[in-house]
Amino acid sequence: MNARTQLTPAERADLLLGPTLTLPETAQVLGFGLTTLRDGLRRGHLDLPQVRVGTRVIIPTVAVRRLLGMEE
């Protein structure tokens, strides 16, 4: 099992400036492990839209900011 890395506030802010996040980036921003994030998305526990292009999955940053209560 890989150890989860904690983001500094500056790293988290930088990630939240882009238009989209990958699943690993989303997990880091939310403080989850990747498996927990995937499970929460699959079960519908997290209200986050997913954009799928082939096997790549990205999440709009605005949705993550909304989930965290950081609406602009």
Q: pLDDT for 4-19, tens place per residue?
A: 678 899 999 999 999 9
Give pLDDT, residue 4: 66
Q: Are 34 and 24 in contact (CB under 8 A)?
A: yes
pLDDT in tens, 54-65: 999 999 999 999
Question: Among all chains, which residue has been given the structure tokens 């999440």?
Answer: 59
Q: Which helix (H) or strand (E) holds 30?
A: helix 23-30
Q: How far is CA 28 from the centre of its chain?
A: 7
| pTM flag (> 0.85) | yes
The answer to whether the CB of 7 falls within 8 A of the CB of 28 is: yes
Task: Return left, alpha or beta for 54; rule: phi > 0 is left, psi -120 to 50 is alpha, else beta.
Answer: left
